[in-house]
Chain A
Amino acid sequence: MAKYNQHLLVCGGTGCRASHSDAIVESLNRALVERNLDGEVKVVMTGCFGFCEKGPIVKVLPDNTFYTQVTPADCDEIVAEHIYKGRKVNRLLYTNPENQEHVSDSKHMGFYRKQIRIALRNCGFIDPENIDEYIARDGYAALGKVLSSTPEQVISDLIKSGLRGRGGGGFPTGLKWQITSKVKADQKYVVCNADEGDPGAFMDRSILEGDPHSVIEAMAINGYCTSASKGLIYIRAEYPLAIARLKVALRQAREYGLLGENILGSDFSFDIEMRYGAGAFVCGEETALIHSMEGHRGEPTFKPPFPSESGYLGKPTNVNNVETYANIPVIILKGPEWFASIGSEKSKGTKVFALAGKINNVGLIEVPMGTTLREVIYEIGGGIKDGKQFKAVQTGGPSGGCLTMKHLDTPIDYDNLIAVGSMMGSGGMIVMDEDDCMVAIAKFYLEFTVEESCGKCSPCRIGNKRLHEILTKITKGEGTMEDLDNLRNLGQVIKDTALCGLGQTSPNPVLSTLDNFWDEYLEHVTEKKCRAGVCKSMLRYVIEPDACVGCTACARNCPVNAISGERKKAHEINQDICIKCGACVEKCKFNAIFVR
């Protein structure tokens, strides 16, 4: 058999699979067989490439051609033109929005240029269901290295590297391991927290789908360093593809003996089990997560005792997040100094962000700590959709805050984000433009926390409900100045008194928008005006009598019969009946209806 000359990598992440990437793999294979090229070209289904905006992605190697929005129907042309004749299919190439030129090589795309991929190193590069490809990329070599070293040495290296927890808290990972390792117990556990719950965040899912072995290897290393023989992965049942890939990976690792008894000939034994969560946001909090794994209600408990002393089944338990784990094998192989040389002063390495909202390049990115918000939004993210004006960026999910124009040059790291009133969180980044109302945004996040609050402590259960009621009142145009004072005071009290991280951070979206968008709140309260036109009850749809020709189109399409008027004469909208649905504006061919 001839050697493979080319590899066709097809994204097999959840997003691209939803757009039929498995049919793309089939069609490519069929087209190759038809032209007798199947012995020369190999089709590989990989994990996520990150550029989800333009998925499904097909990447041709070795020339790095990056085809976007590929459909199964395009596959024949790709094979006939590119593979057979060497001519790139221009219509499928990425178009640079600035100069409308085709960019064929992914290395020249603004989206990838600023990225450094450590946690995502294998995503979109290897076949996640093939352990050999992971081993070929130095997989399990870190575990081998660790097993011939002492736990103390490994932990000291990890502390030196400066790695901090990527789930949001930012606690130094090495220190966490050290604490767990020093507790004496007959049984200890290591747990991977894969309960990714922030709306719009999907970095952990992508790592598990694209490179599951990196997490398994790091958990085994964690087990060796803390003398734990059992690992547990707590993953939400809403991630079926990640679960399936993890199961394949666990089985392969066991078959190779990389999990099980006497790993790599050492006296270290370790295995991993999976635990499924029902998708409750609070279960990302480690004590709630542990209770859920034990079969109890997913409710947090007061710390201390920390899980490192008394966790799963009362035994010492080390909980780390997926992305934290994915970094560890590389740190061990390349050394703590290498890792510490990347990033900012107090936050080392890189961080994966899920870019979403009103941004051109929606997707998954990994940048060094200390990259500015401006670089992420404009250079990697490609700026705001449809040329609109940037208004705010929400970092840290429902626990984070909204940052504005004046924060754009803030270098992103744990401490800087907290200093400006937001937080790193797990890495969600939602961009908002001039059409977003900040009061409504704060209300949206509060809706989420009210829904997800476990109800155990009253500040979170009752306080957030009251915050939400006040915000609803303001968006209905019934707010008073006293309400604004109450928002701030109540928010502060919840922050200070709630039991767990969920409650302690839930007022952040409200407090940060109060700080950064005070004038918008004022407008809602004093002028009863929503400048973005989002808060419907403040809008009035009005027909301009001079422009109206009396065609009756609006009246016929109004679902509540709020519009009246004689044929060929100006019509009128009855404000008491109008539900502000906007149907009339869409139907009016004479631009005679205005929103005020």
Chain B
Amino acid sequence: MLETGLKTVIMTKIKSLADLRKIKDDVQEKIRLRENADQPEKLVQIKVGMATSGIASGAKEVMNFLIEELEKRNVDAVVTQTGDMGYCFAEPTIEVILPGQEPVVFGNVNVKRADEIIEKYIKNGELVDGIIPRNYETIDNK
């Protein structure tokens, strides 16, 4: 069927420009991820290492935490997962790129440390403990 995307609920009428703006604010959340992905270089970009060792050490939990908390704290960010970064001794690992800056890799990131990274590094640019020197190039940069 071609009309599968159609909602069956009856929609309320939009009676003014203010109504339209309100609907826009409500629905924008649904596509914010896509809009952010369109201009990642202007936003905070975070890559979470999600190989077997990362997942086993709780990378998934950290990733969900980052996505939810960044939104709650009004930080526009693009959180993606990546494969093994090679730091299996320090999983979960995350790489953070602030707009216009070099990437920084943090090791042993649990929820508590993720919270610290958001508050200190992402919001204020202060470095926190546990930075791993970055020793690779990614094909994404080509």
A residues adjacent to B (C-beta < 8 A): 2-7, 9, 40, 45, 61-64, 84-88, 101-105, 108, 125-127, 129-130, 132-133, 135-138, 140-141, 144-145, 147-148, 241, 244-245, 248, 251-252, 255-258, 264-265
The proximity string for B residues 48-70 relative to A, scoring 1 for CB distances below 8 Å and 0 otherwise, is 11111011000000011001100
Contact yes or no, A86 B49, CB < 8 A: yes
Contact yes or no, A257 B83, CB < 8 A: no
Given contacts A148-B17, A264-B20, contact A62 B79 (CB under 8 A): yes
A417 to B87, CA, bound (A): 57
A contact residues around B2 at 8 Å (CB): 129, 241, 244-245, 248
> Which of B15, B27, B54, B63 has a CB less than 8 Å from the CB of A136?
B27
Rounded to whole Å, the gap between the CB of A13 and the closest CB of chain B is 13
Which of B51, B63, B82 has the most CB atoms of chain A within a 10 A radius of its CB? B82
Q: 20 A-B residue contacts at CB 8 Å?
A: A5-B67, A9-B34, A63-B37, A63-B78, A85-B81, A86-B83, A87-B84, A103-B142, A104-B139, A127-B5, A129-B3, A135-B23, A136-B24, A136-B28, A136-B30, A136-B31, A141-B20, A244-B2, A244-B3, A264-B19
Given contacts A133-B31, A255-B11, A264-B20, contact A85 B55 (CB under 8 A): yes
> Which of B12, B33, B49 has a CB less than 8 Å from the CB of A62?
B33
Which of A86, A244, A248 has the most CB atoms of chain B within a 10 A radius of its CB? A86
Q: How many residues of B contact A (CB 8 A)?
A: 51
A165 to B24, CA, bound (A): 30
B contact residues around A2 at 8 Å (CB): 64
Contact yes or no, B50 A256, CB < 8 A: no
> Which of A4, A62, A140, A241 has a CB less than 8 Å from the CB of B80?
A62
Q: Which residues 8-47 of B sit at the A interface, judged by CB distance below 8 A?
A: 10-17, 19-21, 23-24, 27-28, 30-31, 33-34, 36-38, 40
Contact yes or no, A62 B15, CB < 8 A: no
CB nearest neighbor in B for A243: B2
A62 to B108, CA, bound (A): 24
Contact yes or no, A3 B71, CB < 8 A: yes
Given contacts A62-B80, A85-B51, contact A252 B68 (CB under 8 A): no
Rounded to whole Å, the gap between the CB of A41 and the closest CB of chain B is 11
Contact yes or no, A64 B20, CB < 8 A: no
Given contacts A136-B24, A257-B13, A257-B15, contact A7 B34 (CB under 8 A): yes
Given contacts A85-B52, A144-B17, contact A5 B37 (CB under 8 A): no
A contact residues around B20 at 8 Å (CB): 135, 140-141, 144, 264
CB nearest neighbor in A for B17: A144
Contact yes or no, B16 A264, CB < 8 A: yes
Known: A63-B81, A256-B12. 6 other contacts (CB 8 A): A6-B80, A62-B40, A85-B50, A85-B51, A248-B3, A264-B19
CB nearest neighbor in B for A126: B31
A414 to B128, CA, bound (A): 58
